[in-house]
Amino acid sequence: MKGLKFTRKQLCIPYLLFLLCFVALPLLVVIYYAFTNGDGQFTIKNFINFFTSPNTLGTLFYSFSIAIATTIVCLLLAYPIAYILARSKMKQKMVLVFMFVLPMWINFTLRITALKEILTLIEGNLAYYPFLNSIIGMTYDFLPFMILPMYTTLLKLDNSLLEAASDLGANSVQVFLKITLPLSVPGIISGVVMVFLPSMTNYVVLDMLYNSTYIMGSFIGSYFSAYDWHNGSMISLVLLAIIAIITLMTSKYTDENESRGGSLL
């Protein structure tokens, strides 16, 4: 087997090729289309279009609102669930965790279709409450992604810290506010990131619920299906930039918190 040794660099080649083909190249193509017009000439008209078109800005704002609302609803629902799951001494805890994770294993289309039927039964026509339904659909879809990181963070929480706090005179509310909540911030952040970003661009849920195109993901799709690749590319590029900025901001924060959390162990 002599001669079959690879250096670390050589081992990287497949990944490099993959990155090149499926990340760098498509990105370059998107950038190319974003800054050219139909004749292949350089232009920033698409960029200006983005920020002058009320339709585009409106959709962006709407997507943002849905994403933020979904994240907040998920957060409010998930934290108590995660807290109970992680801190209770219940023996059937794992069964409960499974109950929240299990839906994720069921086919996505099936889940949304089922939700649609249920909502139609209640509301009649889903188009009456588009915003509400968007949030219900996305919350249903993304809730496990919020629960799991918070659950793991709370599970890791050192019980002696809580005891130390009450030993120093904190009642149970104070223990929660001063110790449990601050120390679960890393879990909250990663939950927020995992819910906010996909709900920003996800359009399948809304598309399936009531064929809405009034959201960023399907908005871009509509440009591409109309063969306006240039404006479509620009919109996705701007979206990419926005998401990149948000991710960088939060990752800096989570990193700092994780190193703090690390000292716990």
Partner 1 sequence: MQDNILQFNNISRTFDDGFTVVDDFNLSIKRGEFVTFLGPSGCGKTTTLRMLAGFDLPTTGEILLDGKNITDLPANERPINTVFQRYALFPHLNIYDNIAFGLKLKKIKKSEIDKKVKKALEMVDLEGFENRKVQTLSGGQQQRIAIARAIVNEPEILLLDEPLGALDLKMRKEMQLELKSMHEKLGITFIYVTHDQEEALTMSDKIVVMSEGKIQQIGTPEDIYNEPKNAFVADFIGESNIFNGIMTGKYKVRFCGAEFECVDDVPDGTMIDAVIRPEDVIITTPEKGTIQGEVISVIFKGVHYEITVLSGKNEIVIQTTKKSEVGEKVGLCVEPDGIHIMIAENTINKFESAIDSNYKLAFLDGQLECDVTKVLTNCKKNEDGVLVDEHGDEIEIDKVKIIVSVKPEDIEMSDDADAGIVQGNIINLIYKGDHYSYVVRTEDEHDFIVDDEDLWNMDDFISLIIPQDKISYSLKK
**What is the contact surface with partner 1 in residues (CB under 8 A)?**
158, 160-161, 163-171, 174, 178-179, 182-183, 185, 259-264
Could you tell me the smallest distance in angstroms from the CB atom of residue 152 to partner 1? 17
With contact defined as beta carbons under 8 Å apart, do 236 and 228 qualify? Answer: no
Angle between helices 54-87 and 185-201 (to 10 degrees): 140
For partner 1, the closer CB: 120 or 250: 250
For partner 1, the closer CB: 117 or 158: 158
Task: Count Cβ atoms below 10 Å from residue 83 Cβ, excluding itself.
Answer: 18
Could you tell me the smallest distance in angstroms from the CB atom of residue 263 to partner 1? 4
Could you tell me the smallest distance in angstroms from the CB atom of residue 149 to partner 1? 17
For partner 1, the closer CB: 154 or 179: 179
Nearest CA-CA partner of 39 in 219, 229, 221, 224: 229
For partner 1, the closer CB: 175 or 215: 175
Could you tell me the smallest distance in angstroms from the CB atom of residue 258 to partner 1? 11
**Cα separation of 207 and 59, whole Å?**
14
For partner 1, the closer CB: 139 or 180: 180
**Cα separation of 265 and 173, whole Å?**
25
Nearest CA-CA partner of 235 in 25, 20, 34: 34
Residue whose tokens read 């209640």: 122
Half-sphere exposure in the Cβ direction for 18 (13 Å, CA): 5
Q: What is the dihedral of CA 169, 171, 172, 177, to 10 degrees?
A: -80
Could you tell me the smallest distance in angstroms from the CB atom of residue 194 to partner 1? 22
Could you tell me the smallest distance in angstroms from the CB atom of residue 180 to partner 1? 11
For partner 1, the closer CB: 54 or 262: 262
